[in-house]
Amino acid sequence: MITSYEIYKLYLESDKKSLNRKPTLKAYLFDDIWKFQKLMRKLEYFTNCKKNRLYRLYLAYSYRKMSVKLGFYIPINTFGPGLSIAHYGPIIINEGAKIGMNCRIHIGTNIGTSAGFSDQAPHIGDNCYIGPGAKLFGKINIGNNCVIGANAVVNKTFTEDSVTLGGIPAKIISQKSSNGLLTKGFCKSLGNI
């Protein structure tokens, strides 16, 4: 969670590395996903650090507007550093979900609660790759370095690290980790890399 300006800058740098973004004029003008992620991190900073309430309202309005444009419903403070959104299109995350560092998430993903329980959302570990169309529901935990396959429906806990989940309902289909499927913009042991 962003609790200081230094951590805010660290999150931004980690996200930029995970997205493989270069500071070019084209990226500044036309890269809506990078603009969205920067706006999300700025809103998190102004919300968590209780900075300038009026400007925070403006950021919240801008964030909502851009979310609708891109098809995202991603509440603030749900993702750790190193987030990489692959494409714009429908992505829905429940505000109770917690996703670790270096997550790569694709279009059509839904991370939600159990029916009728607004406080039972998934917790997903670090360095996880979430494929297109994946659905994760309920009070479940997913280990670190996991791959959630395309169109998988995950409704139970998988605490094993470095596995691939797939199917409806999801089960372990491989012992393959997320290495090579995402760029790690942040590393706990080394700091920002």
Distance, CA of 11 to CA of 131 (rounded, Å): 23
Based on the structure, what is the number of domains in the chain?
A: 2
What's the pLDDT at 21?
Answer: 85
| Mean pLDDT value across residues 155-178 | 95
**CATH code for the domain in which residue 112 is found:** 2.160.10.10
pLDDT, greater one: 30 or 126: 126
**Is 84 part of a structural domain of the chain?**
no
**Is 82 part of a structural domain of the chain?**
no
What's the pLDDT at 82?
Answer: 95
Same domain, 129 and 166: yes
- pLDDT at position 193 over 50: no
**Is 189 part of a structural domain of the chain?**
no
Report pLDDT digits (tens) over 93-108.
999 999 999 999 999 9
Asked if 84 contacts 18 with a C-beta cutoff of 8 angstroms, the reply is yes
Same domain, 14 and 52: yes
CA–CA distances in Å: residue 187 to residues 39, 43, 100: 23, 23, 11
| pTM for the full predicted model | 0.91
CA–CA distances in Å: residue 47 to residues 2, 59, 68, 162, 186: 9, 10, 20, 34, 22
Same domain, 95 and 67: no
Report pLDDT digits (tens) over 18-69.
999 887 787 777 899 999 999 999 999 999 998 889 999 999 999 999 999 9
Coil, helix or strand for 105? strand
| Mean pLDDT value across residues 163-185 | 94
Q: What range defines the domain where residue 4 resides?
A: 1-71
- pLDDT at position 188 over 80: no
**Is 103 part of a structural domain of the chain?**
yes
What's the pLDDT at 189?
Answer: 53
What's the pLDDT at 119?
Answer: 83
